[in-house]
Amino acid sequence: MDTTTNLRPFPAINFSNERIALQEGKAQWTYARLRERIEQCASGLLGKQSDLQEERVAFFMPACVDYVTTLLGIWRAGGIAVPLNVAAALPEIEHVLSTAKVTRLVVSISSPAESLPGLCALCRGLNIQVLNVSDMLGGKIQVLPELNIERRAMMLFTSGTTNKPKGVVSTHKNIRAQITTLLEAWNWTAEDSIPLFLPLHHIHGIINVLCCALWTGARVTLFQRFDMDTILHGVDERDYSVFMAVPTIYVKLVSHLEALPESRRTRLCDGFRAMRLNISGSAACPAKLFNQWKALTGQSLLERYGMTEIGMAISNPYFGERRAGAVGLPLPGVQVALFDDEGRMIEGDDKPGEIRVKGDNVFQEYWDNPQATQESFVDGWFCTGDVAVRETGYYRIMGRSSVDIIKSGGYKLSALEIESTLLTHEKIAECAVVGIEDETWGEAVTAFVVLKPGQSLEYAQLKAWCEPRMSPYKIPKVLRVMEALPRNAMGKVLKPALKNL
């Protein structure tokens, strides 16, 4: 067994490969040029050291060639990469830097430290050295360390929707497993090309897009944000074979496409139709959206399930049926099971339970938090806290046990199921359903909705609309109309914030 990385998990990156790895605007970098950049960065980080010995090195930059250079440079030098959210507030960044005990912060011209007021002062206060990527390039490449795959490689932070964000530590082995299972499941090849506009402090953009593409030798077009016009120009030009986005992006695309003149809409929809794969993830994809996208583009969105601690664990098949509202089947090499409230494994279909996962893809630990790590595992199974049901083998997520499972009037209700129905209402653009503490019901089903422009909706109207569409105990007891729902960087609604309104 190969126990060293030696620039793996990226076999495509070598000095002889002249294929295009990255495109940023009009600039392009071949795999050979990228590897040279990575090794220069690693050498610059090392200085007189022979190995970073798992030093935590953070970096603050959007999707750009410097981001890729820094991420892989830290790995190649033996450090732990800590990517920061460039849209985060200063206190959020302080939590990450101090929790991870970061010693150096790398920035780039694309996102200098000055772009977040107070960042340099914060780093001085925490005794963190601030470096620019350009300072580490152009120097002599030195002998780089050989790294055991059991070594820690990356620390990402949980979204913090239910508690204070924790540092999720993954090893090189974990990352390799997360990549290779997706290469097999989603049929990646060196001929693929994909736009990357997702936040790069999150596993979706880092592993599912960037790392999978680089492993297989595909081309990644980098965007610092979701630029609708530029990305759709690429779709029109048939620049992409794979497209990955969160549901909110697909909602925006549907709205945009439907508003276009027919000839332009047809060209763009044909551009999506020509791709081999469209994937939705990081939040539940409503059946309505699945059907809208298929009607427009002919593409059946491939929905999957994963989280920071495990990468991806479940996916609809590349070949075979993709079910609206379901996240599919366990991925190759990943063990998935459901457990009831007493901790017993559930056999068969149609019985809800907590998703638990085993496999090389599962993270090593929560950084400097052994209690949280211990509490997250039972008999070697990682307890996700998400509740699902199997339906003829396919998993359907009912929701996060703490926020999406509502205990009302003696029933356990799926907030996601109710939301999916409400989204078919002609006046509702967005919605979130939560359980609010109630003396009568235990938790009262409460619907927070964003209406389409120019629309109004009263509770009595909603209730009458719901009656033929869902069981009486699922009908919201309260309606709250909002201008916008609170969301995190990946588009997930911050339901704890709604509970406190």
Q: Are 271 and 235 in contact (CB under 8 A)?
A: yes
What is the reported pLDDT for 109? 85
Average pLDDT over residues 244-264: 94
**439, burial (CB in 10 Å: exposed 0-12, middle 13-18, buried 19+):** exposed
Domain 405-499 classification at class level: alpha beta
Give percent of the chain above pLDDT 90: 77
Q: Which residue has the tokens 């011209």?
A: 109
- Mean predicted confidence (pLDDT) in 248-274: 96
Q: Where are the domains of the chain?
A: 20-186, 405-499
Does domain 20-186 bear CATH number 3.40.50.980?
A: yes
Question: Given this model, what pLDDT does residue 1 score?
Answer: 43
Cβ atoms of 119 and 90 within 8 Å: the answer is yes
* pLDDT for residue 7: 46
Mean pLDDT of 153-176: 86
And the tokens for 414? 């799926």
pTM assigned to the model: 0.85
- Asked if residue 160 has pLDDT above 80, the reply is no
Q: pLDDT at position 163, please? A: 59
Query: In which band, very low, low, confident or very high, does the pLDDT at 473 lie, cut at 50, 70 and 90?
Result: confident
Whole-number pLDDT of residue 41: 96
Q: 107 vs 138, which has greater pLDDT?
A: 107
Instruction: Give pLDDT tens digits for 373-390.
Output: 999 999 999 999 999 999
Segment 304-335, tens digit of pLDDT: 999 999 999 999 999 999 999 999 999 999 99
- Residue 29 confidence (pLDDT): 97
Beta bridge pairs of residue 27: 24
What's the CA gap between 175 and 311, in Å, rounded?
Answer: 8
Residue 321 CB coordination number (10 Å): 11
Pairing verdict, β 377-378 and 411-414: unpaired
